[in-house]
A and B are shown apart, each in its own frame.
Chain A
Amino acid sequence: MILNGVEIRDTFAEAFPMVGTRLIVTADTPEWALIAGRTTTGFATSVIGCGCEAGIERTLTPEETPDGRPGVSLLIFAMDFGSLKKVVPLRLGQCVLTCPTTACYAGIEGGKRVPLAKTIRYFADGHQISKKIGDKRFWRLPVMEGEFVCDEDTGSVEGVGGGNFLILARSRGEALKAAEAAVAAMVQVPGIILPFPGGVVRSGSKVGSKYKGLFASSNDAYCPTLRGTVPSQLPDEVGSVLEIVIDGVSFEAVAEATRVGITAVCAIGAEGGVVAIDAGNYGGNLGPFHFKLREIMQNGAGETA
């Protein structure tokens, strides 16, 4: 398959089940909401080293938030529910509670409950007070700045982590430009995050390593400077590869983001230095979710293995 001179390779991205939740963080200004969001989702690129994968799903207008202030919607994913229950209160306590003017609310109603103020309310040392409205309880924690308002818990969802595609380009600059275009388009898709810096990964990994104790190592088959020394996937004209990794609340959301991202890259096309689109997988034996690139670009959807 060739789109605007870009080869869509006949392969698939292999993704895994993750458990995720959504937090709605508000603040007095959009800037402070964004600061809280960026802080909370910092150091959360990969579960391999960070314990979770997190990102800002989108910014929210005052009309969209529970308290009528500007906010951000955050998605946080972990490999299992137990891990999620640990990382969310930690990030809430260290990054949202501490951030001026913020409040935090549940962004998902269904699923198993992930504790929010249920855990961190004890910071108020007995001065915390709760209010139950309907079936929902929120807490008010006195802090030096005033009060921190936070829902007792939030819901969770069984999502998909590790959706991906690779941009093979002639040069580093052209790969970066294509990746930026993909990210700009993909962040408009609801229900997904791109957890890596700026949404882009330059150091895609393969499973395992020659060194004991390392679970992942550089994806040498896609490293241009190793071409000829290892079994390479890169033709001679490719000088740089960047990866986009996608986590989402559903298979459909990740598939749609993949489609939107590849479409944006292909719009730049061969004239813009893009050579091919590829994807990372492990032979299809590890992850149950397969995002077949050509099917997605033809039909707008993939399939579950």
Chain B
Amino acid sequence: MTGVSLKPRAPFEARVDLSGLTPEVTGPLSLRELEHREVPCGGRSLKLAELFFVEGAPDGVLLVEIGDARLDGVGAGMTRGELIVDGTVGAFAGRGMSGGVLRIGGDAGDFLGSEMSGGRIELAGNAGAHAGAAGSGARRGLSGGVLQIGGHAGPRAAERQRGGLITIAGDAGEGLATGMIAGTVSVGGTIGPLAGRGMKRGTIFVNAVPELPAGFIDTGAHELVALRLIARRVPELSAMLSGWTHARRIVGDTLMGGQGEVLAGV
């Protein structure tokens, strides 16, 4: 294999924070240096080798062979390289990412890709609450890059999103894109209540017209050239939009200027 592989020695007894362990950090280190690198675990700091078998050759790729819901901050702050998790991760995965690729084979906890500004996250399973959203104290959620969720997303995904793209193959929980500032979200399944509440701009693509807050106005179904353009320019949306010739355009939140929109295929 190429890159560094981390394989847990045993189930974690406490939450482990891997937020400082990104491919760009591990790349220049030797295996020995990596083994001695300390990471927060519960209230303590432990050497990486106490938690994981560390193998391979550092080269910009980091592989976590067995994921764990107690692994927090996986790929947080990544700027380049590739991080692959063969399983589930905890909270804050990909938080503040600005580049690189984070692939997660299982589920992710809360705040996946929160405040992300670039790069790509590919999640095979479900995401917890606040995916692509603004974390505590942050003004903006995801502002760039691509966050792909293969399963469902919990409440408040895309909250205060400022740009970039979030795709949710399954359902989205309540409060999707609350306070959205700009960007694009697509949902393949159903959408929970209060989607788009307080959104200023941005686009939410859905397959069926959802129940929306009172500040949204249905402008009717339209043939939009932009759909064709997006379907061709955005590969992540091409499967969803390629069959659309018309979309029902529901604008809102009019309480915030009404320049956001929900586009539902018809």
Q: Main SS of chain A's interface residues?
A: strand
Query: In the complex, are the beta carbons of A67 and B225 less than 8 A apart?
Result: yes
User: A129-B201, A131-B184 given as contacts; is B229 within 8 A of A103 (CB)?
Assistant: yes
For A138, list chain B residues within 8 Å (CB): 226, 229
A228 in the interface, Cβ–Cβ < 8 Å?
no
B32 in the interface, Cβ–Cβ < 8 Å?
no
For B232, list chain A residues within 8 Å (CB): 66-68
CA distance A304 to B163 in the complex (A): 47
| Most chain A CB neighbours (cut-off 10 Å) among B184, B226, B261 | B226
Provide the B144-188 mask, 1 if CB < 8 A to any CB of A, else 0. Answer: 000000000000000000010000000000000000001010000
Chain B residue at smallest Cβ distance from A132: B163
For A67, list chain B residues within 8 Å (CB): 225, 228-229, 232
User: A129-B259, A129-B261 given as contacts; is B201 within 8 A of A149 (CB)?
Assistant: no
Residues in A110-157 with C-beta less than 8 Å from chain B? 129, 131-134, 136, 138, 140, 146-147, 149
Starting from the known contacts A68-B231, A131-B226, 11 additional A-B residue pairs (CB-CB under 8 Å) come to: A66-B232, A67-B228, A129-B201, A131-B230, A132-B163, A133-B230, A133-B234, A138-B226, A140-B224, A146-B222, A147-B224
B223 in the interface, Cβ–Cβ < 8 Å?
yes
CA distance A69 to B201 in the complex (A): 27
Provide the B216-259 mask, 1 if CB < 8 A to any CB of A, else 0. Answer: 00000011111011111110000000000000000000000001
| Most chain B CB neighbours (cut-off 10 Å) among A26, A101, A129, A131 | A131
B117 in the interface, Cβ–Cβ < 8 Å?
no
B203 in the interface, Cβ–Cβ < 8 Å?
yes
Distance in angstroms from B243 CB to nearest chain A CB is 13
Q: A149 is contacted by which of B182, B225, B234 (Cβ under 8 Å)? A: B225
Chain A residue at smallest Cβ distance from B227: A67
Query: In the complex, are the beta carbons of B230 and A147 less than 8 A apart?
Result: no
For B201, list chain A residues within 8 Å (CB): 129
CA distance A98 to B229 in the complex (A): 20
For B261, list chain A residues within 8 Å (CB): 129
Provide the B193-204 mask, 1 if CB < 8 A to any CB of A, else 0. Answer: 000000001010
For A68, list chain B residues within 8 Å (CB): 228, 231-232
Distance in angstroms from A301 CB to nearest chain B CB is 37
Number of interface residues of B (CB under 8 A): 19
Query: In the complex, are the beta carbons of B228 and A146 less than 8 A apart?
Result: no
Mind listing 20 A-B residue pairs with CB under 8 Å?
A66-B229, A67-B228, A67-B232, A68-B232, A69-B225, A103-B225, A129-B201, A129-B259, A129-B261, A131-B184, A131-B203, A131-B226, A131-B230, A133-B230, A133-B233, A138-B226, A146-B222, A146-B224, A149-B225, A149-B226
CA distance A98 to B230 in the complex (A): 23
Chain B residue at smallest Cβ distance from A127: B259
Distance in angstroms from B102 CB to nearest chain A CB is 18
Query: In the complex, are the beta carbons of A147 and B225 less than 8 A apart?
Result: yes
Query: In the complex, are the beta carbons of A147 and B234 less than 8 A apart?
Result: no
For A103, list chain B residues within 8 Å (CB): 225, 229
Distance in angstroms from B237 CB to nearest chain A CB is 9
Residues in A24-58 with C-beta less than 8 Å from chain B? 26
Query: In the complex, are the beta carbons of A140 and B233 less than 8 A apart?
Result: no
Distance in angstroms from A193 CB to nearest chain B CB is 26
For B182, list chain A residues within 8 Å (CB): 132
For A66, list chain B residues within 8 Å (CB): 229, 232-233
Residues in B35-55 with C-beta less than 8 Å from chain A? none
CA distance A68 to B203 in the complex (A): 21
Chain B residue at smallest Cβ distance from A102: B225
Distance in angstroms from B261 CB to nearest chain A CB is 7
Distance in angstroms from A98 CB to nearest chain B CB is 16
Query: In the complex, are the beta carbons of A147 and B222 less than 8 A apart?
Result: yes
Distance in angstroms from B153 CB to nearest chain A CB is 21
CA distance A149 to B223 in the complex (A): 12
CA distance A289 to B223 in the complex (A): 48
CA distance A140 to B260 in the complex (A): 13
CA distance A136 to B228 in the complex (A): 16
CA distance A103 to B163 in the complex (A): 23
Distance in angstroms from A103 CB to nearest chain B CB is 5
For B203, list chain A residues within 8 Å (CB): 131
Chain A residue at smallest Cβ distance from B201: A129
Chain B residue at smallest Cβ distance from A66: B229
For A134, list chain B residues within 8 Å (CB): 233
Chain A residue at smallest Cβ distance from B258: A127
For B226, list chain A residues within 8 Å (CB): 131, 138, 140, 147, 149
